[in-house]
Amino acid sequence: MAISRATKAAKVKVLTKELESSTSAIIGTFKGMTAAKDFDLRKVVRGAGGSYHVVKNKLAARASQGSKVEAALQGLKGVSSVAYTSGDPVALAKALAAWVKDNAEFTFKLGIVDGKVISVQEIGDLATMPGKEELFSKLLFLIQSPAQRLATVINATGRDLAVVINQGVEKEKFSGSAPAAVAAPVAEAAAPVVETAVEEAPAAEAEAPAVEG
């Protein structure tokens, strides 16, 4: 049964609206795919944040005009379907590549990411890349990791310094105040000891002229 012009126009309008906000697409073809597998494929694409349509080549070419996926939908031949997304292209490629491994009825034709047309081989390469969520997670780790290591080193240095000073006091390696009086504040943290030394420095400088005189 032939599709009326009105029906074609309505389909083009719907597809145009969906494609105009899409930044990536993967075009494929299939042979002998059952309705159940087609439903499963649509579900997989939706799970990756995309949409999926079996398209007439001329309608796809018309609907994609002016969009970021236009270049991949021009001049298509044979049976065509398109999975497209405005989200993570890696997630879409991963989902489709995993599904195709178990469903040989479907094969890739080409893809497009941010206006750049990619080959079937490049679709496979895209599917092996880390997705946006994984990249953000790694970036967050790299940002936080130095700060965490610095805090750990500072804390460890303070603890080690406190232990060394306490051992010296206990073995009477230092002269001055009684061991008990020195050991108590040092055991709490090394930082106060450092601050005290800094505060006493001006006093030592002030006494220097008296010695020279």
pLDDT band for position 193 (cuts 50, 70, 90): very low
User: Which superfamily does 5-129 belong to?
Assistant: Ribosomal protein L10, N-terminal RNA-binding domain (3.30.70.1730)
Residue 3: pLDDT over 60: yes
Higher pLDDT, 119 or 186: 119
The pTM of the full predicted model, rounded to 2 decimals, is: 0.61
Residue 98 above 80 pLDDT?
Answer: yes
Judged against a pLDDT cut of 60, whether residue 198 lies above it is answered with no
> Which position has the token pair 């999975």?
83
The yes-or-no verdict on residue 132 having pLDDT over 80 is no
* CA neighbor of 63 nearest in space, from 82, 77, 89, 86: 82
Burial (CB count <10 Å: 0-12, 13-18, 19+), residue 128: exposed
Q: How many helices (H) and strands (E) does the chain have?
A: 8, 5
- Summary mean pLDDT of the chain: 76
Residue of 34, 30, 119 lying closest to 72 (CA atoms): 119
Instruction: Report pLDDT digits (tens) over 153-176.
Output: 556 555 555 555 565 555 554 444
Distance CA 88, CA 130 (A): 10
Terminal Cα distance for the chain, rounded = 115
Q: Look-up: residue for tokens 């094969």?
A: 107
Mean pLDDT of 83-98: 94
pLDDT band at 204; cut points 50, 70, 90: very low
Strand-pair category, 106-113 with 80-85: unpaired
